[in-house]
Amino acid sequence: MFKKIGAIALSTGLVLSAVSIPVLADKPDSPGKGNGWGKGGKKIENVIYMIPDGFSPDYASNYRAYKGEEAVWDDHLKGLYTTNSANSDITDSAAAGTAMATGEKTNNGVIGLDAEGNELTSILDAMEKKGKSSGLVATSTITHATPASFVANVDDRNNQTEIARQYIASEVDVLLGGGKNMFLPESEGGNQEEANLLEEAKEANFTYVETRDQLEDGTDIDVEDGEKLLGLFADDALAPELHRGETEEPSIAEMTEASIDVLNEDKDGFFLMVEGSQIDWAGHDNDAAWAMSDVEAFEEAVKVALDFAKKDGKTLVVIGGDHDTGGMTTGSNGSMEVNADILQEVTATGDHMAAQLNEDRSNVKEVVEEYTNLSLTEEEVQTIKDASEPSIAINQVVSDYANVGWTSLNHTGADIQLYAYGPQSDEFSGFYDNTDIPKKIADILKLKLDK
């Protein structure tokens, strides 16, 4: 089932005048009467909303250097948007996810509620009300802030057990990611006080899978008959892409493809949100290799979505990060070159390398050189030995070799780029706020986002 999607060579340029590729669509039977007809008589049945968490323009620039060619999204650049939350110039993922899901600002840490505590309707909710199926995919726990923003309403993003409960009680049809412990009772090693949400999910017509092979074999799901799919492939978050090969977990591209296969059985269409969650986590650690490898995995998922959209002709694909993480720069140390391609040789995260150090850190040189193919100087070795956080120090050394810079270990307030492909994708051209993204989708599909 998991098809290999060939690389698509597309021209690049982070410019707001990006050229849109025309998409053929069926002639309307009754344009202007709703039922999925967009402005201009182009029918849109499906929306795939893809969120590379923490991804900003410099991530895109460094990824191009890392890859050695244009990324699949480069030719589909449409706009740029602001990301501040209701109570801060710099947003967290909960407030950003809520804005991107509902079109309303909220305070950091809050999911699916406005700044006054009123429950909000997400674009996923609005499409479900039109009879469409829906799904969420993430490489974090599926109950993490960004995916939760499309279904749940909680005043604290950390209340993932309540988010899990709301998922099972909701109309969402596909849930794929990590976070099995959020669905299990404490008596079985989980985080729920008493409830066994996996049992409740089965009673709610979910097919449950927990490995890549089970996902491949278990997607014969009839969503029109009320059947659903729940895939939880790790107790907590999924593995970073650098280490996924050591697990039985599916890739984000495989989860995306499986979700499309299931949801596309609904003749009324579907909404799918796909989050590349760990790009953000890599940014928090200033781990350039982790960041680029997870961007690469996310690009494979985007290829799956674009391939489907090009064949289908009635699917809108929207791609945009929720905020910048780490203040990554393209170039550092005064150099006029970017050597991000050397990150291709890195085979482990900084966290993993730090975990291999012995008590007195006398093996720094051996460990780092084993996983990076770099030759460390004595000064670099000593810096890592003396560091209060050796993983961050390792990441800084690797980033310096790649001439990738960082300005923060947290989020920043940088503006974020948006890419779009499919019918009405030009509606996303320009400069706007993150709250405008779901409003544009709703306007195109003639949906209403209510409080």
For residue range 177-212, what is the model confidence (pLDDT) as tens digits?
999 999 999 999 999 999 999 999 999 999 999 999
How far, CA to CA in Å, does 198 sit from each of 181, 236, 239, 267? Answer: 10, 15, 22, 28
Cα atoms in the 13 Å half-sphere on the side-chain side of 124: 28
Q: Is residue 438 helix, strand or coil?
A: helix
CA angle 8, 12, 13 (to 5 degrees): 160
Distances in whole angstroms, Cα of residue 181 to Cα of each of 197, 255, 375, 404: 10, 20, 41, 36
> Which is nearest to 78 in space by CA: 23, 21, 25, 19?
19
The rounded distance, in Å, linking the Cα atoms of 301 and 208 is 22
Tell me how far apart the alpha carbons of residues 2 and 329 are, in angstroms, rounded to a whole number: 35
How do beta strands 411-412 and 324-325 pair?
antiparallel
Residue 218, pLDDT score = 74
Residue segments in the chain with a per-residue pLDDT below the cut of 70: 1-41
Give the pLDDT of residue 130: 95
Cα separations in angstroms, 232 against 51, 143, 249, 272: 20, 11, 9, 17
Tell me: is residue 146 an annotated ligand-binding position: yes
Question: CA 316 to CA 339: how far, in whole Å?
Answer: 35
Flag whether 243 is marked binding.
no
Task: Tell me if the pTM is above 0.85.
Answer: yes
Q: What is the DSSP string of 247-302?
A: SSPPPHHHHHHHHHHHHTT-TT-EEEEEEETHHHHHHHTT-HHHHHHHHHHHHHHH
Q: Is 53 annotated as a binding residue?
A: yes
pLDDT in the model for residue 255 = 98
Provide the terminal-to-terminal Cα distance of the chain, rounded to the nearest Å: 40
Residues with catalytic function: 93
3 state SS of 69: coil
Question: Which of 27, 26, 21, 24 is CA-nearest to residue 8?
Answer: 21
- Which amino acid makes up residue 413? G
Comparing CA positions, the residue from 200, 142, 203 lying closest to residue 174 is: 142
- Can you give the pLDDT at residue 324? 98
pLDDT of the residue at 212: 97
Find the Cα–Cα–Cα–Cα dihedral 350, 353, 358, 363, rounded to 10°.
-100
CA distances from 23 to 43, 117, 312 (A): 11, 41, 10
The residues with which 273 forms a beta bridge, in sequence order, are: 49, 136
Read off the tokens for 132: 């469409």
Q: Are 424 and 42 in contact (CB under 8 A)?
A: yes
Confidence at residue 29, expressed as pLDDT on a 0 to 100 scale: 35
Query: Would the annotation count 352 as a binding residue?
Result: no
d(Cα 277, Cα 125) in Å, to the nearest integer?
A: 22
According to DSSP, the residues that pair with 106 across neighbouring strands are none
pLDDT value of residue 334: 84
pLDDT number for residue 32: 38
Alpha carbon distance 261, 144 (integer Å): 24
State whether the Cα torsion 135-141-143-146 is positive or negative: negative
- 3-class DSSP state of 23: coil
Handedness of CA 350, 341, 308, 436 (dihedral sign): positive
What residue ranges define each of the domains in the chain, with the CATH number in brackets?
Answer: 44-329+409-445 (3.40.720.10), 339-402 (no CATH)
The radius of gyration of the chain from alpha carbons, rounded to an integer in Å, stands at: 21
Furthest-apart CA atoms within the chain: distance in Å: 73
Residue 15 burial (C-beta neighbours within 10 Å; 0-12, 13-18, 19+): exposed
